[in-house]
Amino acid sequence: MTTTIEESATTFLSSTDQAYAECANGISNLDKIIVSVSSRFSGMTRGYLLPIIYAYWERFFRTVFAEYLRCVELMRADLNAIHPNLAQFRLRRELNEILKRHSIKQLQEISSTLDIEQAKAFCENLADFFKLPIVFADSTNWIETESNVNFTVLESNCKNFGIDIESIKNRLAESKITLYSALKQLVDVRNQISHGETFKDIDQDEWETLKNFTLTVMTTVQLELFETLRNGRCLKIDPSA
């Protein structure tokens, strides 16, 4: 069953609102833990809990981008109809999978590695891919997080999916937040603690800054993906143009 642009956007917002509520509630519970301990240990407790704030950011990031792909899939558009960046990203994955199934590493090896029947099967597989509605099976597996969801990782996924990273940056700038430096601070502090480089106390101001940034960047990314779906910018031709 094919869904409209509006239906896909509504589905996205409903499911990601639930994901946000779960993450925001989890972060709120961290504050409850902090106030439950002696004030002598509150800075230390914030330090130990900071990596969990980052974990909620990474969880939400994976969830909203995976849900975005699922909602694009619901439109049952073919490769030629979706945003060129996303189409190229999907095509690269498909070519790699077909090459892997035929035990070859590069396209130029087809003529030297495969016999005529095998080469025909290869071409038919690729032709079928272009004819069918686009599919992102196990959409979470399409999200590239590497070791940390820092600015470079966010930017790379936005580029792959045809999401306007500049729009995300500008939205945050309206709240006087610089995306690159704020996300770097969150990731760096998390890594220092998680990798045992330091176990420094975190004061209330730094905790509030990192916590509020995390909540803000989550809602900002969610909104940009939602509007990309709702306005049809996920497609090759923007219907609002």
Per-residue H/E/C for the chain? CCCCHHHHHHHHHHHHHHHHHHHHHHHHHHHHHHHHCCHHHHHHHHHHHHHHHHHHHHHHHHHHHHHHHHHHHHCCCCHHHECHHHHHHHHHHHHHHHHHHCCCCCHHHHHHHCCHHHHHHHHHHHHHHHHCCCCCCCHHHHCCCCCCCCHHHHHHHHHHHCCCHHHHHHHHHCCCCCHHHHHHHHHHHHHHHHCCCCCCCCCHHHHHHHHHHHHHHHHHHHHHHHHHHHCCCCECCCCCC
Tell me the two tokens of residue 35: 């106030």
The separation between the first and the last C-alpha atoms of the chain, rounded to the nearest angstrom, is 26
Of 70, 59, 48, which is closest to residue 22 (Cα–Cα)? 59
Residues near 143 by beta carbon (within 8 Å), at least 6 away in sequence? 61, 62, 65, 66, 157
| Candidate from 77-81, 124-128, 157-161 with smallest mean pLDDT | 124-128
Distance CA 139, CA 63 (A): 9
Calculate mean pLDDT across residues 199-204. Answer: 86
Residue indicated by tokens 């498909």: 94
Q: Return the amino acid letter for 236.
A: K
Task: Express each pLDDT in 77-110 by its tens digit.
Answer: 999 899 999 999 999 988 888 888 777 777 777 7
Task: Express each pLDDT in 129-153 by its tens digit.
Answer: 888 899 998 899 999 888 899 999 9
pLDDT of 237: 63
Tell me the two tokens of residue 56: 């909620």
pTM of the model: 0.90
**pLDDT of 241 higher than 50:** no
